[in-house]
Chains A and B, each alone.
Chain A
Amino acid sequence: QVQLQESGPGLVKPSETLSLTCTVSGGSISSYYWSWIRQPPGKGLEWIGYVYYTGTTNYNPSLKSRVTISLDTSKNQFSLKLNSVTAADTAVYFCARGSRELELRDFDPWGQGTLVTVSS
């Protein structure tokens, strides 16, 4: 059974770069789309972007200028970098997999999520 686990700093200073890693266990990175999704405290879900197992990426236009998502197949991990953060980027960040091989669609499974707070 595939499991995802987010890791990274829980506190980032304004104007700096938020960096998170998602480690995939119980399965391979191959043949799937891998996404980052965030949820500000008490609010709804926002898709940030995906990386395909080939390395192809696609980002939410609202964040595109600040986001990079990359893959490390040797470690079975993918990563998120969000630069020039502000308090508005404070959120729980989830990593998730596309539910079906080779298809862009819904998300399953998800990581447990990690809270990142932007504050000086």
Chain B
Amino acid sequence: DIQMTQSPSTLSASVGDRVTITCRASRSISSWLAWYQQKPGKAPKLLIYKASSLDSGVPSRFSGSRSGTEFTLTISSLQPDDFATYYCQQYNDYSPTTFGQGTKVEIK
């Protein structure tokens, strides 16, 4: 299996902060990576696909990038609605497709 290592596990930040979450793949996954946002009691919501493409309707303060096997989700200016848990998913290898362990963004 391809292991996806997310960091940090928890992040404390304030409204207006720039926030960065990292996901590292155990081997090459090209750009086949997605980011999701999940709020308590809800299903994950797709934010970014193919490492850096913003899904329809997602605010432009969210962005994604890739450097080799390291992927980054950036929120340029954290908004109250952004406090949630974020997951990455690799889909280069679907045997199985795997998720990172999640990063909880909480209020500082």
Chain B residues whose C-beta falls within 8 Å of the C-beta of A78 in the assembled complex? none
Q: In the complex, are the beta carbons of B49 and A105 less than 8 A apart?
A: yes
Interface size, chain B (Cβ < 8 Å): 23
Q: A99-B46, A111-B43, A113-B43 are in contact. Are A106 and B99 (CB under 8 A)?
A: no
For the complex, would chain B's binding face be called helix, strand, loop or mixed by DSSP majority? loop
Interface residues of A in 41-58 (CB under 8 A from B): 44-47, 50, 58
The answer on a CB contact under 8 Å between B44 and A110 is: yes
A94 at the interface (CB under 8 A from B): yes
Chain A residue nearest to B4 (CB atoms) is: A44
Question: Is A104 engaged at the interface, CB distance under 8 Å to the other chain?
Answer: yes
Q: Are A44 and B96 in contact (CB under 8 A)?
A: no
Q: Assess whether A47 is in contact with B44, with CB atoms less than 8 Å apart.
A: no
Residues of A in contact (CB 8 Å), total 21
Q: Choose among A47, A99, A110 the residue that contacts B97 (Cβ–Cβ < 8 A).
A: A47
Whether, in the assembled complex, A32 has its beta carbon less than 8 Å from a beta carbon of chain B, the answer is no
Is A108 within 8 A of B46, CB to CB? yes
Interface residues of B in 19-36 (CB under 8 A from A): 32, 34, 36
Is A104 a contact of B46 with CB atoms below 8 Å? Answer: no
CB distance B34 to A45 under 8 Å?
no
Q: Is the CB of A106 within 8 A of B96?
A: no
Q: Contacts A58-B94, A61-B95 given: A106-B43 contact, CB under 8 Å?
A: no
**Which residue of the partner chain B has the closest CB to A113?**
B43
In the complex, residue of chain B having the shortest beta-carbon distance to the beta carbon of A60: B96
A96, B45: Cα distance in complex, Å: 11
Which residue of A is nearest B90, CB measured?
Answer: A106
Interface flags for A34-77 (1: CB within 8 Å of B; 0: not) read: 00000000001111001000000010111000000000000000
Query: Footprint of B on A, CB under 8 Å?
Result: 44-47, 50, 58, 60-62, 94, 96, 99, 104-108, 110-113
Write the residues of chain B forming the contact surface with A, with a CB cutoff of 8 angstroms. 1, 32, 34, 36, 42-46, 49, 55, 87, 89, 91, 94-102
A-B residue pairs in contact (CB < 8 Å), sample of 30: A44-B87, A44-B99, A44-B101, A44-B102, A45-B44, A45-B87, A45-B89, A45-B99, A45-B102, A47-B97, A47-B99, A50-B94, A58-B94, A58-B95, A60-B96, A61-B1, A61-B96, A62-B96, A96-B43, A99-B55, A105-B49, A105-B91, A106-B46, A106-B49, A106-B91, A107-B44, A107-B89, A108-B45, A110-B43, A113-B43
